[in-house]
Amino acid sequence: MDERPVREQRVSDAAARRPYRASVPVPPRRVLPHDTPTWVDPAKEIYFVTICCRKRGVNQLATAAIAESLIATIKHRNDRGDWFAHLALLMPDHIHLLVSFPRDRRMQTTISKWKEWTAKSLGIDWQRDFFEHRLRRDESYREKADYILMNPVRAGLVASAEDWPFKFIG
C-alpha cells in the first residue's frame, strides 16, 4: 500500500466557474419500448403521446405556416386510418397527442414515419423517439385533455386555453 501523502489539488477560480463537462463520453439514450402489451386491445386504447423537438426552447412548431401543415398531416393520417388523433396541441418545441392506433398499425412505426415525413417536408428537427403513456382505466380522458389544453396557459403563452390557436380536436 502506498503511504505517500496525497497532494491537495487546487482549482483556479476560472476553472471552478466553468460548467462541468464529463471527461467520459455520455452513453447514448436508451431506446424506449413502445409495443402494446399482448393483453391490451390497441384499437380500444388511447395514448398520451409527447414528441419533442431536438432544440428545446426554440419555436419550431407554433407558427401559422408550420402549425397549419402539421395539423393537416394529422387530419390526413386520421382519414387514411393510420391513427385516430382525438386531440393534438402544438407547443413551440413539442406536440401533445391523445391518439389511438388500429390493430394493424404499430405505434412506433406510425409515429416514426410521421416524424420522418414532417422532418423532410417541413424541416422540423425532432428529438429521437417520443414519450407515450397508455391511459389506464382509472385515468380520465377528460383530465388528460384538460392538462394538454392548459399547457400554453401554464407556459404563459396565452391567458386562456381557448386563445391558443395551434390545436386540433378530432
Per-residue model confidence (pLDDT) at position 36: 54
CA distance 63 to 43: 32
Per-residue model confidence (pLDDT) at position 15: 43
CA distance 111 to 15: 44
Asked whether the predicted pLDDT for residue 24 surpasses 70, the reply is no
> Which CATH number covers residue 85?
3.30.70.1290
- Tell me if 64 is assigned to some domain: yes
- Tell me if 97 is assigned to some domain: yes
**pTM of the model as a whole:** 0.73
Q: How many domains does the chain have?
A: 1
Asked whether the predicted pLDDT for residue 2 surpasses 70, the reply is no
Per-residue model confidence (pLDDT) at position 6: 45
Cell of 66: 408550420
Q: Exposed, middle or buried, 97 (CB in 10 Å: 0-12/13-18/19+)? A: buried
- Tell me if 25 is assigned to some domain: no
User: Are β-strands 131-134 and 47-52 bridged in parallel, bridged antiparallel, or unpaired?
Assistant: antiparallel
Q: 49 lies in which domain range?
A: 39-169
CA distance 129 to 38: 22
- Tell me if 26 is assigned to some domain: no
Q: How confident is the model at residue 26 (pLDDT cuts 50, 70, 90)?
A: low
- Tell me if 31 is assigned to some domain: no
Q: What is the mean pLDDT of residues 64-93?
A: 96
Q: Which residues pair with 125 in a beta bridge?
A: none
Per-residue model confidence (pLDDT) at position 34: 54
CA distance 120 to 117: 5
Dump pLDDT digits (tens) for 40-55: 555 578 999 999 999 9
Dump pLDDT digits (tens) for 60-77: 999 999 999 999 999 999
- Tell me if 15 is assigned to some domain: no
- Tell me if 29 is assigned to some domain: no
Q: How confident is the model at residue 9 (pLDDT cuts 50, 70, 90)?
A: very low
- Tell me if 124 is assigned to some domain: yes
Asked whether the predicted pLDDT for residue 17 surpasses 60, the reply is no
Q: In Å, how far are 19, 26, 117 from 23, measured between CA atoms?
A: 12, 9, 37
CA distance 132 to 96: 10
Dump pLDDT digits (tens) for 105-159: 899 999 999 999 999 999 999 999 999 999 987 678 899 999 999 999 999 999 9
Per-residue model confidence (pLDDT) at position 136: 81
